[in-house]
Amino acid sequence: MRPSLIFTLFLCLLLAIDGALFVDGLSRRKGEDATLAQLEVVTGALGLTDLAVATEARYTRHPAVSDPVAPFMDHPGAIEHFPTGAFWLPPPR
């Protein structure tokens, strides 16, 4: 068998895996759209401003309503020390 044919078959296998992931993604998307209505109700009813992803520091729990300087406000010379501070950028003002 020619090397190019083996390579093409391998490529087809990878693309088939990607295709299966795509189809699964579509069905997941439908499920996610169904839960969107619940999320909209919660946001509207509670007036939420942020996602509950990181709960360790107030400025990464609620970045939208925090000051960019909040990580350094605990005492003079305070440094930002929470790990999530590395992932989240300070909010623009």
Partner 1 sequence: MALKNIEKQLNILDYALSSLWRRRAKSFSILLVFAAIIFLLASFQMVTQSLSDKAKQVLAYTPEITLQKMSAGRQEAIPLAYREQLAGIFGIRRVVPRIWGYYFDEVRLANYTVMGMELENMPEGARLDASLANGKMPGPEARGWVFVGHSIKEALNLDERYTFSLFRPDLTLKAFTVSGEFSRDTDILTNDLIVMNLADARDLYGIPAGLVTDFCVYVANPKEIDTIAKKISTALPSVRVLTRPQIQKTYQVVFGWRSGFGSICLLAALAAFVILAWDKASGLSPEERREIAILKVLGWETSDILATRFWESLIVSGLACILGMTAAYIHVVYFAASLFRPVLMGWSVLRPDLHLLPRMAAGDILLILAFTVIPYLAATVIPAWRSATVPADSALGG
Structure tokens at 25: 């993604």
89 φ, ψ to 5°? -80, 150
Q: What's the closest the beta carbon of residue 31 comes to partner 1, in angstroms? A: 9
Q: Cα–chain-centroid distance for residue 49?
A: 16
> Among residue numbers 28 through 47, which ones bind partner 1 (CB under 8 A)?
28-29, 32, 35-47
**C-alpha distances out from residue 42 to 27, 60, 69, Å:** 24, 20, 29
If binding is defined by CB under 8 A, does position 13 make contact with partner 1?
no
Binding site for partner 1 (CB under 8 A): 2-4, 6-7, 11, 14-15, 17-18, 21, 25, 28-29, 32, 35-49, 51-58, 60-61, 63-65, 67, 69, 73, 82-92
